[in-house]
Each structure stands twice: as C-alpha cells, then as structure tokens.
Amino acid sequence: MSSIELDDITVNNQHVLKVINTNVLPTVYPEEFYKGSLNGFSKFAYYGEVPVGAIKAKLIVPQHHKVPTSVYIESLAVLEPYRHKGIGKKLVEYAIEQAKTSYVHELTLHVWVKQPEVKQWYERLGFEEKEVIPGYYSQQKLDQPDAILMSLKV
C-alpha cells in the first residue's frame, strides 16, 4: 500500500489544485481562488508520488474582531479512484492541527445539499450541521443552490 504524504501548494504546482477541484467538485472557482492557495492552510495529498487530493483553508476573522475565530475549509477534494484510503481524513486532520496551532477551536465548511454522502462523511469525522443556507451556490448555477453549513469544535 502506498503512503499518504502532504505537501505544500506552490506557484509551480497550484494549477494541479484546479485540475483536482474541477474533476471532483460541483462548483467552479475563479482564478483568484487558485492564486489564494499560496496563502492560508493549503496542501496537496500525494498517494505514492501522485497528487490525488487537496485542501484549501483559511483563518476567519469576523468583522469587529481582531483574532481569528475559525478555520474555514474552502475546498477539499480527493480524486474518485483514491477515495476510501484515508486521504480526505488526513487532509481534515491537517486543518485541525493548523487550527489548534493558531489557537482556533472551530472548523467550518459548506456542503452542497445534493451531496448527502459528503455530509455524512463529514459527520463521521465529527462535524455537525449548523444551518441550511438558501441560495449559497446561486452564482454556480447549480439546480439546487442551497448549502449546509457544518462545524467541528476542536
């Protein structure tokens, strides 16, 4: 069995994040999203020597606050043939460690309402549904644009 290793997203490989996200996620992100992968908590997951998954996350500092209150997972994707190998879990564990290192005690993310299997996967990792946000993905022109906000206390 190949090992799972995490490595940085760099200016030389950030285009791979777009390839992975485009092949896995129902949403389309603008180029600015990928340029922002050089900041925050972003990593590739390698299975053997092949990049097969990625996470892009950032600290959230709410308005009128001076310190971050959560880590927001902007995207998490693992290519289909490499699922059920612990890769997604390892990426989430990385985000949890980054949150703890930053003295932040919550991770948040959005899941498209038409992906109950993804919601259930996050629930198995300890995330809880906070609320349904109507129209969250409306700019994506998805047939049902609602999202589920999920949270994990760490």
CATH number at residue 133: 3.40.630.30
Q: CB-based contacts of 28: which residues, under 8 Å, 6+ apart?
A: 22, 140
The total number of structural domains in the chain stands at 1
Rounded distance, CA 132 to CA 119, Å?
12
Higher pLDDT, 129 or 141: 129
Phi, psi for 9 (deg, rounded to 5): -90, 130
Distances (CA, A) of 3 to 26, 45, 113: 28, 10, 32
Percent of all residues in the chain with a pLDDT value above 70, rounded to a whole number: 99
Rounded distance, CA 154 to CA 146, Å?
26
Global pTM value: 0.93
Range of the domain at 148: 4-153
33-66 pLDDT, tens digit each: 998 898 889 999 999 999 999 999 999 999 998 9
Query: Token digits for 5?
Result: 């290793």
Phi, psi for 75 (deg, rounded to 5): -155, 145
